[in-house]
Amino acid sequence: MRALPFIAVGLAAVVAAFGLACAPAASTLTAAGAGAGGGSAGAAATGSGRAGSSGGSTGAAPAGTGGASGVSGASGVSGASGVSGAAGASGAGGGAGTAGAAGATGGGPGGGGSGNADAAPDRPAAIDASADATGDAGAGAALAPVLPVPTADQVAWQRLGLTAFFHFGMNTFTGDEIGDGTASPSVFNPAGLDPGQWIATLQGAGFKQGTLVVKHHDGFCLWPTKCTSYSVAASPWMGGKGDVVKAYTDAAHAAGFRVGLYLSPLDNHAADSSSGAGYPAKFTCMLNEILTGYGAVDELWLDGHDAPGIDWSGMYATIRQLQPHALIAITGPDIRWVGTEDGTAPLGETSVQAGMPSLGQPSGPVWFPSESDVSIRPGWFYHPSEDTALKSLSALTDIFFNTVGRNSVLILNIPPNTSGVLAAPDVARVGQLGAALKGLFATNLAAGRTATADSMLAAGYEPARALDGNLDTFWAAAPGTTSGRLEIDLGATRTIAIVDVSEPIAFGERAKKYHVEVQGVGATTWTTVATGTVIGERNLIRLTAAASARKLALVIEQAAGAPAIAELGVY
Ligand code: FUL
């Protein structure tokens, strides 16, 4: 159940606590080989680089492993025709995608197989889950997945790490946080609206996606909808001819910035939204408009404040049909609300959750990664009185480590002001955050160094694969192992402040318990400097006291299958 944060509302009782189930689904594999598809040769083909880095590299599949050739880069999933990493016999299928992470071709070690076993044919798993450790059809050894596994679109999204939220609407002009739906559209007039400025600010700081609130709980629509009269069309802004959603999505697509849209099911303006009568059709009408009129949508945030009478399973089918690559978040099967709004994901955060049939998921374990929402200001909407109350750089840096560094995706809210631009204090703070992160991760001391391990699956899965900057290639331990040790010789004594570790999540979450050891020059003993449990997409460990060491070891004590590490970075 999800107890949503309530900030005072004068609303009906609807707003109380919502059972928002979490559970994904689409990606869940029902049974090996259940999918009939042609021999899928591809592994995680979603682009190899971590978003925010300088772009994907070419992840050529190791010889003999049958890796698929590439697909779209990290941002390619937003391409209108983008197929993003679908495992397929040809290994092709990358859509045009938007610009962005430079087209990684990421074919990782591939498994032979008989088609992916995804429960939903239009939501391909990132890998062929029927692959086993021996491979087949002439392919070389392949890493056996630990089920459940994500879809290719979920992998691409999890790699983003850092994303933005834009709360903008009537509340910006009225000073409310949750409007009751009675405010007059006459106050809405963002004379200097410039989404290009929002996007440039965020991209400059390493953000790759932004989610615009197109309708908050007050019901005011930021596009000239035909579904209600309560919209920008009734405002003085641009003589009623303006469209904030178009301005934003056009600017985002042009800039290669992935697009998220937030549509609140709760609608305080629609008189019938709490009774249910008539409102579901209106909501469906709105959903159809935003999913058909604005190009590719990468994420659809259906907020947890529910409205009665909505047929969610029918809604999900419609969304899949209109935008097959849009990940459905919060009241949906693809992305789960992390459960807090203070920028802190739990330690040991896992993407493997119990499925919730009410969200269109099967009841077994499913892949359901979390999203951590938090605002740079005290409120979600811009209020001039909060210009001096922004979170400090240090607080934002902590938030980054406590969300992105804990296997969750951060969605940081930076609300545009009444002119329609991000205010100067926000622009400055986002710039500081970007510069700070760039500085912290400027030099990976492990890059290109020597790595060794206590076992290895096969050629193509060498320890060095964990140091090559490519998330699609990885070290994998020998079949049958459930523990492993990956050691790096840094070449000289180094001061270590951060350890950055990622699993190849296309093959499932594997580690259950791990620790990090360091050893100084000439020393014969190792010192444990950090411990952890689940790794998943990314664990960032800030050492409490920077360690001086020549060697570092990641020791996976327990795993659900043979350990595998996509990247082990040291800063
Ligand atoms: C919550 C809403 O009630 C807040 O106003 C905000 O939009 C937040 C992101 O989600 O459910």
Distance, CA 341 to ligand 1 centroid (Å)? 9
Distance, CA 210 to ligand 1 centroid (Å)? 15
pLDDT for 275 equals 74
- For the cut 70, the answer to whether the pLDDT of residue 23 exceeds it is no
List the one residue out of 417, 443, 500, 440 whose CA is nearest residue 201. Answer: 417
Give dist(CA 388, CA 5) in Å, integer. 23
What are 398-421's pLDDT values in tens digits?
Answer: 999 999 999 999 999 999 999 999
Which residue, judged by its Cα, is nearest atom 6 of ligand 1? 380
Check pocket membership of 305 for ligand 1, CB cut-off 6 A.
yes
The kind and range of the H/E element at 556 are strand 539-559
pLDDT for 465 equals 98
Which residue, judged by its Cα, is nearest atom 4 of ligand 1? 380
Average pLDDT of the residues in 556-571: 98
Check pocket membership of 426 for ligand 1, CB cut-off 6 A.
no
C-alpha gyration radius of the chain: 23
What is the value of pTM for the model shown? 0.83
Give dist(CA 555, CA 542) in Å, integer. 17
Check pocket membership of 266 for ligand 1, CB cut-off 6 A.
no
Q: Phi and psi dihedrals of 493, rounded to 5?
A: -70, 130
- Contact between 537 and 505 (Cβ < 8 Å): yes
Looking at residue 80, what DSSP letter applies? T
Check pocket membership of 303 for ligand 1, CB cut-off 6 A.
yes
Check pocket membership of 267 for ligand 1, CB cut-off 6 A.
no
Distance, CA 385 to ligand 1 centroid (Å)? 20
What are 504-541's pLDDT values in tens digits?
Answer: 999 999 999 999 999 988 889 999 999 999 999 999 99
What are 325-383's pLDDT values in tens digits?
Answer: 999 999 999 999 999 999 999 999 999 999 999 999 999 999 999 999 999 999 999 99
Check pocket membership of 260 for ligand 1, CB cut-off 6 A.
no
pLDDT for 130 equals 65
Give dist(CA 284, CA 231) in Å, integer. 16
pLDDT for 140 equals 61
Distance, CA 496 to ligand 1 centroid (Å)? 38
DSSP string, 285-311: HHHHHHHHSSS--SEEEE-SS--TT--
Q: Which residue reads 């990290």 in tokens?
A: 74
Count Cβ neighbours within 10 Å for each residue of 149-165 and write b for 16 or more, e otherwise.
bbbbbbbbbbbbbbbbb
Distance, CA 95 to ligand 1 centroid (Å)? 33
Which residue, judged by its Cα, is nearest atom 9 of ligand 1? 373
What are 173-191's pLDDT values in tens digits?
Answer: 999 999 999 999 999 999 9
pLDDT for 49 equals 60
Confidence of residue 271 (pLDDT cuts 50, 70, 90): confident
Atom of ligand 1 nearest to the CA of 305: 11
Q: Which of 380, 381, 411 to mutate to test the pocket of ligand 1 (most atoms within 8 A of CB)?
A: 380
Confidence of residue 435 (pLDDT cuts 50, 70, 90): very high
CATH superfamily of 156-440: Glycosidases (3.20.20.80)
Q: Which residue reads 């580690």 in tokens?
A: 511
Q: Which of 167, 170, 216, 303 to mutate to test the pocket of ligand 1 (most atoms within 8 A of CB)?
A: 303
pLDDT for 520 equals 86
What is the token pair recorded at 78? 């937003």
State the burial class of residue 284 (Cβ atoms within 10 Å of its Cβ: 0-12, 13-18, 19+).
middle
Q: Does domain 450-570 sit in CATH 2.60.120.260?
A: yes
Check pocket membership of 373 for ligand 1, CB cut-off 6 A.
yes
What is the token pair recorded at 411? 């969605």
What residue ranges of the chain are covered by domains with CATH 2.60.120.260? 450-570
Q: Which of 111-115, 393-397, 546-550 has the highest mean pLDDT?
A: 393-397
My answer on whether omega of the bond before 369 falls inside 30° of 0, hence cis, is no
Is the CA virtual torsion 86, 92, 98, 103 positive or negative? positive
What are 188-223's pLDDT values in tens digits?
Answer: 999 999 999 999 999 999 999 999 999 999 999 999
Confidence of residue 141 (pLDDT cuts 50, 70, 90): confident
In the chain, what percentage of residues exceed pLDDT 70? Answer: 77
Distance, CA 437 to ligand 1 centroid (Å)? 27
The kind and range of the H/E element at 255 are helix 244-255
